Amino acid sequence: MVQISVIGAGSVVFTGRLVVDLCLTKGLYGSEIVLMDIDKERLDMMYSLAARYAQETNANFTFKKTLDIKEALDDADFVINTVKIGGYKDMESEREVATKHGYYGGVGERVSDYYGGIGAYCQLKFFLDLARDVEDICPNAWLIQAANPVFEGVNLMTRETKAKVVGVCHGHYGYREVVKTLDLNGREVDVRMIGFNHNIWLTRFTYNGEDAYPIFDKWIEKRSEEYWKSEKYLKSLPWEVEQMSPAAIDMYNIFGLLPIGDTVRSASPWWYHLNLETKQKWFGPTGGFDSEIGWKMYLNSLKEMLEGLNLWANNPTIPLTKVYPPTFSGEQHIPFIEAIANNKETVLQLNVPNKGTIFGIPDDVIVEVPTLVDKSGIRAMQVGSLPRRIMVHNMIPRMLKMEQVLQAFLEGDRKGLLLMTAEDHRTRSFEDAKSVIEAILGQYWNSEAAKYYK
């Protein structure tokens, strides 16, 4: 069978899900799973949990662990990258510095700077090094990019290396929340979402073969107000309810198609994100996933998950299948691997070079679209066009931000970083932009970036 190397295996939650999916995928039994991380303690824990889970589910895998990335890549057929360099702590302090300078929630907000500090430096540097290592060590392997920023990252890696990179995300499942809230029978629903990662639009939405947007319109008219007063909306975790928030509905009114998943947050206009108050108006009482409240909830959920894993790792008598039930997570990494490894044709929502798939986007830019995957690789489906209003007020502007991030990164261009912030809607003077950029680059966390961006 194949060798699957998980880079950043200590990224606990994520890897946990992968292990469950893997153990349920009989078609991959016999494979070797190499777990790699730089944190020995977490790696050991993940390794023992993974082996235990396989044992409990009678899944036949060989597990290996290593602290060395090159060793992990050796002989790999699939490389899954889930790395978040430096974790989230320093990123939080970066956001505080920015907020003090008048940039609530951070500069580059809602795009890539969440992920890897200013200009996404730490993440992009790691991604590029990894893709180059893949190119050298296992040039035929598929590099499955799960770590954010997926959009910037996959564009960078596919342009700068010959590694076979594919971006994978679960954000498009946001449509299921639409289906559920509208009380539709999911089996009769057909959807298509296209765009960029964290920036996708529902271009097809049918129910029993007929356009389902009118059902949605009716929900807005008759039931949305009531929904926004419901326990469900007011008490759920932010990432569970953003999909049907006033933000999503307002974006639908503005753009004419429903934004799906992270799009509601990441691609929404600046005036939803002025401060906690406006965020609460648009995204509910938590202010959404990326507000100070929502993000803290997310970090807490990660912490609790880690504590749980630690507890279970130290109590070998607890059946892991009790805490992690053996059901597919819905993540696409393992189905992608099985589709390729076993030539099992599968429809997956993936991030791949456009090559004419979405009209008006350059061929080499990475788009997120439905694809058919089998042994021969990935074939994007014909998805047609997005409405011009969305193209010129959402897609091309988002693409431009990606190009700006990559220009600054590839050229080590501090002026590029500065111009991005200067064009930020909140910037009141060029001097303000300079001073926030220098303040952020002056942090410990960004010391390498500060040297790099000249």
Question: Which residue numbers are catalytic?
Answer: 170, 262
Q: Which residue in the set 64, 159, 415, 434 belongs to the binding site for a second copy (CB under 8 A)? A: 415
CB 197 within 8 Å of CB 145: no
State yes or no: residue 404 binds a second copy (CB under 8 A).
Answer: yes
Q: How far, CA to CA in Å, does 436 sit from each of 86, 95, 98, 108, 271?
A: 21, 11, 6, 12, 21
Interface with a second copy (CB under 8 A), residue from 168, 181, 416, 453: 416
Give the shortest CB-414-to-a second copy separation in angstroms.
11
Tell me the closest approach of the beta carbon of residue 101 to a second copy, in angstroms. 16
Taking the complex as a whole, the smallest distance from the CB of residue 396 to a second copy amounts, in Å, to 5
| CB of 415 closer than 8 Å to CB of 437 | no
Looking at residue 171, what DSSP letter applies?
Answer: G
Helices (H), 143-291: 150-160, 174-181, 213-222, 224-228, 231-235, 238-241, 246-255, 263-266, 276-283
Beta strand extents in 51-182 (DSSP E only): 62-66, 78-81, 142-145, 164-168
- Map tokens 């202010």 to a residue: 287
204, β-bridge pairs:
192
Over the window 232 to 271, marking each residue x when it contacts a second copy by CB under 8 A and - when it does not, the resulting string is ----------------------x--------------x-x
- Residue from 63, 419, 435, 439 touching a second copy (CB under 8 A): that is 419
Interface stretch with a second copy, choices 48-56, 78-86, 128-136, 402-410 (CB under 8 A) = 402-410
Other CB atoms within a 10 A radius of the CB of residue 103 amount to 21
Query: Is 449 in a helix, a strand, or coil?
Result: helix
For a second copy, the binding residues in 3-22 under the rule CB under 8 A are none
Contact code string over 337-376 relative to a second copy, x by CB under 8 A: -------------------------x--------------
- Which residue from 232, 198, 199, 192 is spatially nearest to 213, judged by alpha carbons? 192
Least distance from a second copy to the Cβ atom of residue 416, Å: 6
- Least distance to a second copy, CB of residue 391, Å: 7
The amino acid that residue 79 corresponds to is V
Binding string to a second copy for residues 300 to 329, with x set by CB under 8 A, is what? ------------------------------
Rounded to whole angstroms, how far apart are CA atoms 273 and 287? 9
CB of 250 to a second copy, least distance (A): 9
Q: Which of 67, 95, 83 is nearest to 14 (CA)?
A: 83
Q: 5 vs 203, which CB is nearer to a second copy?
A: 203
Tell me: does residue 276 bind a second copy (CB under 8 A): no
Q: List residues binding a second copy (CB under 8 A).
A: 254, 269, 271, 362, 388-389, 391-393, 396-397, 400, 403-404, 407, 410-411, 413, 415-416, 419-420, 422-423, 425, 427, 429-430
